[in-house]
Structure 1
Amino acid sequence: MSPAAGASYPPSLKDEESERLVEVVKDWTVGNGLAVRPPPAIVSAEADPRGVLATSVPVTLFPSPFPKVCFEQAKAVQTAYNELYARISQDEEFITQVTRDVIGGDDFIESLWSVHVKVQKEGYVQPISLGLFRSDYMVHQEMGVAEGQEQSVPQIKQVEFNTIASSFGGLSSRTSALHKFLAATEYPLLESVAGQGPYDLPENTSTQGLAAGLQAAYKTYGNSELGHQTCVIFLVQGGERNIFDQRHLEYELQRSSNAPVFRLPFSKILQQTSIADTPKRQLLYRLPSNPSKVFEAAVVYLRAGYGPGDYPNTADWDARYHVERSNAIKCPTVLTQLAGAKKVQQVLATPKPSSQPAELGRFIQEGSKDFQEIWQTFTNIYPMDTSEAGLAARKLALDPEQCQKYVLKPQREGGGNNFYRSAIPPYLKSIPESHWGSYILMELITPPPVTNIILRNGELEQGGVICELGRYGACVWNQKTKEILYNEDAGYLLRTKGDQSEEGGVAAGFGCMDSVNLV
């Protein structure tokens, strides 16, 4: 039996034990790249004008207990999810229908759609797409029947599916390595028997798995017809604090494939790239440090461009169009990014009358194993439009008591965009009713209580926590032929936050990195 199954987990620590663990974790995290650039609240720009400092990522002192059955459920369904979202991105008619429902109240989605329409008119030149996905879940306790007796059966329920900038793959594998290191060297020294182990810590190859997806796309692109050396471009935000997470993927890709990898700020796309005057419209990258060096971009991996903040002016939308119309393999294309909209998740998860097939059956054969496994991960999600279901959801959202069970979500990635419980009615009343249809209403998932100790900025925080499991997937497919060329599970992420926090963003300062201790 794992120590996490007992009431004394995490173990009670003496002051001397806490001090030792803090020192060990601080050094290990920086020494092994489990780090971020420090936030301004810790180190001001004046104190670090050249941005040379790094600090430990917020992390749990112990791996959090997580039901093994739920962990295996998420792992087993990931390749089916990869294929599902590849198929959604291929179904322009479906994306058109879904996008039409939200465009009236969401300028960002409308602008993304406009990029696709513009490229479609002149014709796409690159049929290959790459998806580096992450499906996020929480554990949900449901009453079930086993051997004639009622018992609580834990299941995972999907929070969201990310099709763009699915972060923390580079740091997640290192967090797992940290906890394995502590389990081998430090936990056995604790006075508390509960803390000494044994621990069930699964292997986590998220860095290698995501890099392998990039490598698969890079190989699929092939050699340059123009005689240039091919490369992979990471499109990034300026002043990125979560840089080491991205760097670990770069280093792994360079190690495994020898592909040149370059970081290009989203705001510099038009200055540092050009499109060849050929029918294929190859994307050419000129190295700023040596302009005589010209590379052909085989793959463009977007770690920026997922929210309105990356498009402050028209030139930024021109830059996205510039990349989209090129021959580079995009991760993601605009269509794949739109496939990750919350509205798509809602449409897939909403049951229809028994006389009508579920929308999920449009992509995965209804009644198949993949269909059943995906369907089991869905929670209750409702539209906020003027349909019968949408009008019923509006009543729930505006009711001061009923709204306590829900979260209101816009079509956004990156965290910090949602409205929870009692914040929902006043927010809805503050925006035009014509915009309500661009939101979804999702039933809150209530995970079982877990406690842990978080080390954040050198300080320990102990108490109740909420854990969110992310499962990575890598998929390469052909939009024209519908062929799936590569489809693999790519490791996991566990993010943990205090149980009083609504948002879980690690880089935003809400959550922390964690790993699973299977129970």
Structure 2
Amino acid sequence: MAQGILAEVMADTALVKELADVAKDEALLKGVLMRIQETPNSSELVTYAPFTLFPTPVPRAVFFQAMEVQIHYNTLVDRISRDHDFLRDALASTVEVDQFTARLFSIHQQILAEGGSQAVVLGLNRSDYMLDQQDDRSSSLKQIEINTFAASFGGLSSRMPDVHRHVLKVAGRLDESRRILDNDPAAGLARAVAKAWELYGSERAVVMFLVEDVQRNIFDQRYVEAELWKRNIPTVRKRFDDVCQTGTLGPDRKLFVGGREVAVVYFRNGYMPQNYTSEQCWDARLMMERSLAAKCPDISTHLAGTKKVQQVLARPGVLERFFPDQPEVVKQIRATFAGLYTLDMGPEGDETVALALAAPDRFVLKPQREGGGNNIYGPEICQVLGAVKGSERTAYILMDKIHPAPAQNFLLRRDGPLTATSCLSELGVFGAYVRRGGETLLNECVGHLLRTKSSEHSDGGVAAGVAVLDNPLLV
């Protein structure tokens, strides 16, 4: 196993350096790439995306549990997005105090009032988990969150298995190298995008990636684009400013940007308040939502991925609303839930505040934000809850802190030290679905992502500069 390798090589500085050099070169050869921090928009200067020297052991049973439940999570997200009464009630307290969620919800309400928009619904999501260590012998799968918007690293994680296989071979561990599973989320995500494009019905129309102004992680997206070009499906990359300046919506609700008809809008930008730098950006979002183009995600699916919805789903009886005749599905999904608690005004919310203040180290305080680095831990929970006034607390939810078992590994970063580190890992599972009207035409689990970080860090992903890419070594 990987830990066995570490035990043998940690004392051999020369061997560790050799394996690290091999690993970095292999990552570059396989295209595990990011633009460097100093020139985030220039592809002339790139480096390897940060990753672990060795794959991390993951129990086989919990890995396949996560993979198998993904199609049910796809169905759940899609059904939530269609249950407008549920979304309204679930988010009622949040939209009163969280301006960003309120703004999204107002677009949702406007689209509903106009009778909806596109006939084709495309969902690309990623459900993230940690393994909660119950004792020395067992661990359970607990969901951190589900990302319905810009779920990243499907491209780079498609290249990671070959990197770690090669490292293990060089280390003389051929048997372990064979236990790293094939993984190609990029192809699976592109397959769903291609299906939505085909259903739109125009070979001239494009798939538009709506992207950030700063694009350091561009290669992750390029792999999905490359899969689409293999199918002769044209793609373009546009920013909010491009849509603001050149976007038009015809009387037939066809969307044109830069003179090109758009069949699919794949949002890789727009999930944080700071992405909307002007009122024109909000106008552009509304225009795209009103169009016939398939949106990934559309506004209701965006809202379905909020932390508040995650907390409401954990309440008794709520999952049964979406799977009324499928108790086994409810059981599978509920088994992955961590403890989630409301901060709504009233006795239940008051009790949650008391719990958090009494034992802040037991919990994570989560705002309605995506992108990593937003969660609040430990004594800071007391500071935040002590500072919020009245209903302002409903902008957050409280979740049990998950306690995964640490493992030793080396984190390879550009110009970073080569030292063994105590690490924690997070498993992500990619899902893809396509629906036209009331008929689901595609619903798949399309791959996985393992991210690992030093155990000294509480929060943060790869793009945030904290976690690194990894592979599960099933044990």
Partner Cα separation in structure 2 for residue 97 and residue 127 of structure 1: 25
Match of 1:260 among 214, 217, 234: 234
| Structure 1 pair 486–10 and aligned structure 2 pair: CA distance change class (3 A) | farther
Q: 2:105 aligned with 1:113, yes or no?
A: yes
1:408-456 C-alpha deviation (Å, 9 max, x unpaired)? 0011110111101111011122332321012100001101221111111
User: Aligned-pair distance for 1:49?
Assistant: 8.7
User: Aligned-pair distance for 1:17?
Assistant: 1.7
Q: Kindly provide the amino acid, as one letter, of the partner of residue 283 in structure 1.
A: L
* Matches for 1:370-519 after TM superposition, within 5 Å: 370-399=329-358, 402-459=359-416, 460-478=418-436, 481-519=437-475
Partner Cα separation in structure 2 for residue 513 and residue 19 of structure 1: 19
Q: Who is 1:218 aligned against?
A: 197
User: Aligned-pair distance for 1:10?
Assistant: 7.4
Q: For structure 2, which runs of at least 5 residues remain unmatched after alignment? A: none
Q: Who is 1:239 aligned against?
A: 214
User: Aligned-pair distance for 1:494?
Assistant: 0.3
TM-score, L = length of structure 1: 0.87
Q: Kindly provide the amino acid, as one letter, of the partner of residue 449 in structure 2.
A: L
User: Aligned-pair distance for 1:223?
Assistant: 2.3
Partner Cα separation in structure 2 for residue 137 and residue 367 of structure 1: 23
Q: Is the 8 A contact 1:74 1:156 kept in 2?
A: yes
Q: Kindly provide the amino acid, as one letter, of the partner of residue 256 in structure 2.
A: L
Q: Who is 2:95 aligned against?
A: 103
1:122-159 C-alpha deviation (Å, 9 max, x unpaired)? 3323122111010000011336xxxxxxx843221000
User: Aligned-pair distance for 1:242?
Assistant: 0.7
* Matches for 1:192-231 after TM superposition, within 5 Å: 197-199=175-177, 200-223=179-202, 229-231=204-206
Q: Look at both structures and tell me which one has the larger radius of gyration over its CA atoms.
A: 1
Tell me the secondary structure at the aligned position of residue 423 of structure 1.
Answer: helix
Q: Who is 1:344 aligned against?
A: 309
User: Aligned-pair distance for 1:12?
Assistant: 2.3
User: Aligned-pair distance for 1:50?
Assistant: 5.2
Q: Is the 8 A contact 2:353 2:385 kept in 1?
A: no
Indicate the percent of aligned positions where both proteins have the same amino acid: 40
User: Aligned-pair distance for 1:23?
Assistant: 2.1
| Structure 1 pair 5–453 and aligned structure 2 pair: CA distance change class (3 A) | closer
Partner Cα separation in structure 2 for residue 6 and residue 103 of structure 1: 51
Q: Who is 1:181 aligned against?
A: 166
Q: Is the 8 A contact 2:41 2:214 kept in 1?
A: no
Q: Is the 8 A contact 1:90 1:482 kept in 2?
A: no
Partner Cα separation in structure 2 for residue 7 and residue 396 of structure 1: 42
Q: For structure 1, which runs of at least 5 residues remain unmatched after alignment? A: 144-150, 189-194, 287-293, 353-357
Please report the RMSD computed on the Cα atoms of aligned residues, expressed in angstroms: 1.9
Tell me the secondary structure at the aligned position of residue 104 of structure 1.
Answer: helix
Q: Kindly provide the amino acid, as one letter, of the partner of residue 456 in structure 2.
A: Q
Q: Kindly provide the amino acid, as one letter, of the partner of residue 277 in structure 2.
A: P
Q: Kindly provide the amino acid, as one letter, of the partner of residue 234 in structure 2.
A: P
Count of residues in correspondence between the two structures: 473
Partner Cα separation in structure 2 for residue 82 and residue 198 of structure 1: 32
Q: Who is 2:28 aligned against?
A: 30
User: Aligned-pair distance for 1:32?
Assistant: 2.3
Partner Cα separation in structure 1 for residue 213 and residue 470 of structure 2: 27
Partner Cα separation in structure 1 for residue 21 and residue 90 of structure 2: 51
Q: Is the 8 A contact 2:3 2:408 kept in 1?
A: no
Q: 2:114 aligned with 1:142, yes or no?
A: no
User: Aligned-pair distance for 1:219?
Assistant: 1.3
Partner Cα separation in structure 2 for residue 483 and residue 253 of structure 1: 24
Q: Is the 8 A contact 2:41 2:216 kept in 1?
A: no
Partner Cα separation in structure 2 for residue 342 and residue 162 of structure 1: 10
Q: Who is 2:321 aligned against?
A: 362
User: Aligned-pair distance for 1:367?
Assistant: 5.6
| Structure 1 pair 9–367 and aligned structure 2 pair: CA distance change class (3 A) | farther
